[in-house]
Chains A and B, each alone.
Chain A
């Protein structure tokens, strides 16, 4: 029972990640392949603030997210004047750069040993109590993310965002500053990924670089494409399926030495087949191409 709560919380964190990435890929149409970097920045900055300076996780949550958003600003500023292939590679490279940074900067991040004893949001009297609290907290942040996304998507700004995806030249010819809008949306996406990171760190209380590899970034991309680009339900379904799917492999009883590469092979195959056969995903409206 407690394990089900745990799975719900982890799925919820990935739902926030998938939603925030869907804003960038599904609505804005920009191929960001380094989303795990913002997840890592949120997780590490709020944990380090809590461990070293004793700053409350409630405040660290927003500082971490703001930090992720500022990095988004820098990356967007550096790459949005280049074509999409470069943007895809630059974000992927950024994901790898952040991974190397948390792995090699041992003095601060303790490298592969990871950060332990990260404080939780509150002190709990029982394990069940903490699980219920985190479930409620995650649901709150999912609803907040969906609310913000809806406000953006159905606003005049949202129309411009989707027009950039459909035809950037047309949007530009109508006098819209597409580069600035792209940077803004990218920053909002990074902000929510940072929130997801902080929630994750203060929930599991232990983080190490292995949770923030480039594979995680590709996994989030896969969640978005599987569910459907440009839909909110799609991201929720995609994240839930891909988090619960490895549990199925474990349930069947495949040993973990085989299960881990097998799972990744299925992800790779899934990505290829989806974009060839069903680029709009399970419930999507917008076709990737």
Chain B
């Protein structure tokens, strides 16, 4: 029994780190622009396909493919911001319009991927012989170790960036109060661009990592962004530590949930978690109240 529990613990950590990466990217963007960037999910899928293109089609070295993929994914995010959201921002559109536009972007890019790569699944496996380690009776593959290690490095680098650099400080200032930030000479347009770049880059990291473990499929962005948003709502929307906690919490609930319900219902667990939070704790663990403020 303890072996099963430990195996589930490892699986939860792996799923949780992917969810956390998606959720943090989403949270950084949400914090800066205050709307739901739903197309974040398709940016994640694009990251996976770009890595696949470099690694499996063009036969690049995996490490080079990885860095090229995450950089280009960051640029895709910047492009979406520039061509769609910036126009809406100039016209001072309400949040909801951004969300609808975001759905448009999502559908457009997802189908562009389908058009280019076809709707069948693709596989990307850089390691020919995957080593399997045994830890306390549970098994973990070298790919899974890579996923955990890279996610951890990404999280630490992000933390250093936000807490220790001037740019990170400026980003926090814009998130707290864009007008006040502009008054002290911070160019908020440029910081929105940086937020989109970093957020999308993290989505790219998650996308490439998950495709080492599972298949690539053009529709992979939809479940990913839903998990990401649910993780953010659990943690408290707009809170970066909240996104990490929410991501891991969701990973654990989903994996340990299969001890109690049949695995075909795994997809439903995250929705049940979402519903519970929306009813009892809509502000999440660390967030501010989501309830409509009248007056």
Contacts and interface: CB of A to CB of B under 8 A. Distances in A.
B108 interface: yes
Interface stretch (A50-58, A188-196, A262-270): A262-270
B290 A82 contact: yes
Interface string A247-289: 0000000000110111011011111100110010000000011
Given A33-B103, A82-B292, A268-B104, A258 B115 contact: yes
B96 A31 contact: yes
Contacts of A49: none
Interface in B238-295: 264-265, 267-268, 271, 274-275, 278-279, 282, 290-292, 294-295
Interface string A207-221: 000000011001001
A264 B107 CA distance: 7
A84 B290 CA distance: 10
B64 interface: no
B99 interface: yes
A267 B99 contact: no
B226 to A, nearest CB: 7
Contacts of A262: 111, 115
A85 interface: yes
Nearest to B93: A289
A96 interface: yes
A265 B268 contact: no
Contact of A271 (B107, B110, B114, B271): B107
Nearest to A273: B104
Contact of B88 (A218, A258, A276): A276
A215 B218 CA distance: 14
B87 interface: yes
A233 interface: no
B-side interface mostly: helix
B268 A97 contact: yes
Interface string B199-240: 000000000000000000000001000100100000000000
Given A84-B95, A275-B104, A268 B111 contact: yes
B111 A264 contact: yes
A82 B291 contact: yes
A172 interface: yes
A222 B25 CA distance: 28
B105 interface: yes
A172 B293 CA distance: 12
A100 B267 contact: yes
Interface of B: 35-36, 84, 87-88, 91, 93-97, 99-101, 103-112, 114-115, 118-119, 222, 226, 229, 264-265, 267-268, 271, 274-275, 278-279, 282, 290-292, 294-295
18 contacts: A82-B282, A82-B291, A83-B291, A84-B96, A85-B36, A88-B96, A97-B268, A97-B271, A101-B268, A221-B100, A261-B111, A264-B111, A265-B112, A268-B104, A270-B104, A272-B84, A272-B104, A276-B91
